[in-house]
Structure 1
Amino acid sequence: MTTRREREQQVVAEGRVVADFGRDFLVELADRRQIVCTRKGRKQDAACGDFVEVRLTGSAQGSIERVGTRRNILFRSDQWKEKTLAANVDQAVILLAPRPAFSEAFLNLSLVACEAAGIPAIIALNKSDLPEHAESRRSLEAWERIGYTVISMSAKFDTAALLPLLEGKITLLVGQSGMGKSRTVNALVMEEVARVGEISASLGIGTHTTTFSRMFRLDRDAAIVDTPGFQSFGLFHLTEGQIAEAMREFRPFLGECKFNDCAHLSEPGCAVVAAAARGEISAERLSFYQVLIEQHRELHDQHPDWAR
């Protein structure tokens, strides 16, 4: 005759990871109940947004037994480590602000990461109440010209432009520290933030700043995934070919170069460089790409054994 605890441990349920606390995960089950789970082993890799099978070890605890197939996953990485931000999302919103001034390099790196992962990206310029906003908004017209959606909003006063874009989607929110990401999340899902904060506190995890990715429900069909604020977006895990393909305005010219292994730096007969000379690709975006490739090569030369 089995005990209640033994019977609970035999139950395997399906759920979705809604918070990645590092060693522990918050998993939402089909009945919307949320339980704290551990990994089955050190090598098991789960991320916020993953669909998982969990073995219940108590009324509010479990162990992740299996991670389902991922539709997509977004990483950032440097020469030392790789950080998973989220999996199985429908889109990403890259949050910028005029004060402190946003980094165009960070924006471009974020867009490359999203393109490489197959995740559509939206650019949201926050703090529309600031006088510097108009100038920053004009500077983003360059990204509109290559097909990105750009919106203006204020997490403090007006999120109306953002809300329709979130309907029916799981949206990853990415931004440098200081762009107003926490205020944006609070404006959208204050009650959810408070509840997950209580769970964080019970696990001994700080609640005043986001240190791990967390999913907050907007309604039955929509959610946002809040990610830690950071100042750089490393792409060490991508190949040079993946980076070039992720520059969306390069795509019509890839494969048209004189040499098959053209890196679009200074090779003769480069179709990408020629397109930039004709004004079909912006000089700034080409320069960003070329600097990125040079840095990428330097880091890989220094760390040839690096692997995911």
Structure 2
Amino acid sequence: MAETDPSRIAGAALGALALAAGGAALYSWIHARRVTSEMHPPIGRFVEVDGVRLHYVERGPLDAPPILFVHGNGACLEDLLVSGLVDACATRYRCIVPDRPGYGHSTRPSGRSYTPQDQAVLLSRFLDTIGVERPLVVGHSWGALASLAMALDPRADVAGAVLMSGYYYPQERGDVALMGLPAAPVIGPALRWTLGVQTMRRMAPKLYPRLFHPRPIPERMLRDYPFAYAERPEQMRAASAELAAMSASAEDLAEDYASCAVPVALLHGSQDAAIDGSLHTGRLAAEIEGASVAFLPGLGHMIHYFAHDDIVAAIDSVASRAEGRAPDEGRPRRAAE
């Protein structure tokens, strides 16, 4: 009986592994192209800013006071549209909603930094490009940190900020090491292009209930939100890199919080299982002079799906403070669904 050659077995195993990895990568590439071209084609316009091709939509009157909406980590502009918040504001505000770099249909060229501070500059230049001046900025979760960076930067020239469910201070989080792996050198691309699609499909059923807890996931999100975006390798890279850099970015920005010179309103779900409101929103409210704060009972991280009245009231208040007048209590407001 012939002896088994270990080197031939190892070679065959490596060849089979390489073939499987190549097949998985090809599937990921085809799937990513299908997601953005067939399943969820662009719904807005494009503009190039500093080499980034940004996709965005607008709602509301062009001559109304402008609002820039900034979505969170792992999300896209459809999150803010599907939530109904943009429609609730568009009756009397010009609502501008971009996909941040690497999300939805916006590109994220490699070899550059995308910290909240960097994206604040990029979004400011985006507004300049489309001819928008002195907007209110409304951010959710990671987008709240980028929005706060805009509020702190005089060059951004924002009128005020409404920050929802935000992360503002360095905090040890057990999920960062694992969730940041897809952005790591060498191993990151291998993970994204081979295991990414199936990993995201397994994670989603656990992730989204935690974000919406204690409420159920709204039917309109299950029906209309483009969940498949998160299965694309490039969006995995963006989300992982931002999560990995979040703590250091917050530490850098925190030095300037007390110097914020524009009106700020803070909102946070009292039962947020993703970000502790007392450690972040409560602490920030104590640092920014004149900031209003509301902890919304019975809500978790995704307050923009349920608290339209509270959020629009905060937007109205910040807009009024930016104009140097008291809020107009008599203005009608669209109720949350």
**TM-score normalised over the length of structure 2:** 0.22
Q: Give the strand-richer structure, 1 or 2.
A: 1
**TM-score normalised over the length of structure 1:** 0.24
Q: With CA pairs under 8 Å and 6+ residues apart, which has the higher RCO, 1 or 2?
A: 2
